Amino acid sequence: MTGSKLPAVQRLQFFLSESVWDPEAVNARRLDLLRADPATAPHGGGVLVIDDSGDRKDGTATAHVGRQYLGRYGKTGNGVVTVTTLWADERVYYPVHAVPYTPARHFAKGKNDPEFRTKLAIGAELAVRARAAGFTFRAVVADSACGDQDGFRAELAEAGLPFVMALRPRRGTWARAADAHTPVDAARALAWGGPEDPGDWTAVVRTFRDGHAETWWAADATLGGWGPDGARRLVVATADPGTLPDKATWYLVTNLPRPGGPREAGSPHPAAGLAEIVRLYSIRNWIEQGYKQVKDELGWADFQVRSDIAIRRHQALVNCAFSFCWDAWFAHPPPAATPPAPQAAGGERGARTRRTAAVLAPGDPGRARLAGTLDHAAALVGCLVQGAPAAAAASPDQLGRGRLRPAPLHPELTDYR
């Protein structure tokens, strides 16, 4: 709490808690700018990722605080959970909307209160809001916390939204005694005789940021009423169909029809082959990268305010900062790193090298502002953009016709796909 009473800190507290600006209006303007810029404009080859993020907060007086599961820590604790959406493709990603989840204890009638909304209900609403705000995407993507919920998938389908979501390997379902009862059982029932005799499996090549490629295998499986030509498809993707390794196997449910199947003609969504399903779910990893950046670099959870409106303003400012970093990155890409010049010999350990710190904002700014922010964007956002995404891998028909293609990013950024 050192320095908490300093005028600059107090001004920030007032700006969040006592001023009258509308965070929704600020966020809407941010999204307008992102959509208008060819470098960040959403297109039909990207995805909308739904997730929630929890952060520890002490006490009981802060809005939305309660004892609940905090995904960042992998356990239950006292904190605030926010449901978020993120638009992403293989090249760029950024937050769209964020709504704090309010635990039932904050309502007079608990979960029976008309104002109470579950995290899944908030997520479905945010997906609809993103589409209404002009964001196009190939599918809504989420992990098994959402994918396992029949009601959540039904809400998205009723809203006319395509989805690709993960399932837990042993999520049980009703089926005849002789049939598969879990996704992993359905995967084991598929024929596999090795790479030379793949049986039901199809090879899918995944390329990672560091340049290496891996051959995965994907297949349509049957589970209960789900099948290749059902209203829901179960797609299994794995690095090894023989062993189905836990950390390299995905069990995915989607409402995108199979190419050439009987549902393709009547579906409101374009058909998606196995490689496309795997590509779409691969992009979901960007939300994990984004969480690291907004939390570790931009202070998402570092607010010292209590009211709902102040928390939402803080989150809106962090999302603006994230978007400003992208704008600075595209406007002023950092120069290629140069090795430090060797210095004089330093004893038996050989020559020493001197590290030179980057200058953040040299010179007189001339007035009260952040000195030279855009003039020195590489120094300002270096730690953030080192996690920037890969060059786009979507096919031309997925990216839309006539859209300007942004220049490729720096080659050594991350191995997320």
3-state secondary structure of 293: helix
% of residues, the chain, pLDDT over 90: 56
pLDDT at 5: 74
Most confident of 194-198, 333-337, 362-366: 194-198
Give Cα separations from 117 to 64, 120, 215 (angstroms).
12, 8, 42
Residue 148 is assigned to a structural domain of this protein: no
The verdict on 232 and 209 lying in the same domain is: yes
Mean pLDDT of the chain: 81
Q: How confident is the model at residue 7 (pLDDT cuts 50, 70, 90)?
A: confident
109 has pLDDT over 80? yes
- Mean pLDDT throughout 54-71? 88
The pair phi, psi for residue 243, each rounded to 5°, is -115, -15
* Number of domains the chain is built from: 2
Q: Angle at the Cα of 366 (from 361 to 370), degrees rounded to 5? A: 40
Residue 32 is assigned to a structural domain of this protein: yes
318 has pLDDT over 50? yes
Q: How confident is the model at residue 375 (pLDDT cuts 50, 70, 90)?
A: very low
| Between 138 and 209, the higher pLDDT residue | 138
Q: Where are the alpha helices (DSSP H) in 199-357?
A: 274-282, 285-292, 308-331
The verdict on 117 and 204 lying in the same domain is: no
Q: How confident is the model at residue 2 (pLDDT cuts 50, 70, 90)?
A: low
The verdict on 139 and 17 lying in the same domain is: yes
**pTM: predicted TM-score of the whole model, two decimal places:** 0.79
| Between 23 and 72, the higher pLDDT residue | 23
3-state secondary structure of 401: coil
pLDDT at 279: 95
The verdict on 227 and 316 lying in the same domain is: no
The verdict on 20 and 130 lying in the same domain is: yes
The verdict on 139 and 184 lying in the same domain is: no
Q: Phi/psi class of residue 372: alpha, beta or left (left: φ > 0; alpha: ψ in -120 to 50)?
A: left
- Mean pLDDT throughout 100-107? 93
343 has pLDDT over 50? no
Q: How confident is the model at residue 258 (pLDDT cuts 50, 70, 90)?
A: very high
The verdict on 137 and 16 lying in the same domain is: yes
User: What are the residues whose beta carbons fall under 8 Å from the beta carbon of 172, sequence distance 6 or more?
Assistant: 181, 182
Q: Where are the alpha helices (DSSP H) in 214-284?
A: 274-282
Residue 289 is assigned to a structural domain of this protein: no
Residue 159 is assigned to a structural domain of this protein: no
Residue 363 is assigned to a structural domain of this protein: no
**Residue type at position 393:** A
Which of 283, 310, 342 is at the close of a domain? 283
Find tokens 């596999």 and name the residue: 192
Find tokens 């490629």 and name the residue: 213
Q: Residue 42's beta-bridge partner residues? A: none
User: What are the residues whose beta carbons fall under 8 Å from the beta carbon of 193, sequence distance 6 or more?
Assistant: 199
Range of the domain at 92: 8-143+294-333+370-398+406-417
pLDDT at 1: 58
The verdict on 189 and 133 lying in the same domain is: no
Residue 1 is assigned to a structural domain of this protein: no
154 has pLDDT over 80? yes
Beta-strand relationship, 75-88 and 93-100: antiparallel
The verdict on 137 and 247 lying in the same domain is: no
User: What are the residues whose beta carbons fall under 8 Å from the beta carbon of 252, sequence distance 6 or more?
Assistant: 147, 164, 165, 166, 167, 234, 235, 236, 237, 277, 281
DSSP one-letter code for 170 = T
The verdict on 136 and 89 lying in the same domain is: yes
The verdict on 138 and 253 lying in the same domain is: no
378 has pLDDT over 50? no
Give dist(CA 298, CA 378) in Å, integer.
16
Q: How confident is the model at residue 348 (pLDDT cuts 50, 70, 90)?
A: very low
Provide the strand spans (E) within 171-307: 202-207, 213-221, 233-238, 249-254
Residue 340 is assigned to a structural domain of this protein: no
pLDDT at 59: 85
Residue 150 is assigned to a structural domain of this protein: no
Which of 221, 249, 283 is at the close of a domain? 283
- If you count DSSP H runs as helices and E runs as strands, how many of each does the chain have, helices first? 11, 12
The verdict on 54 and 106 lying in the same domain is: yes
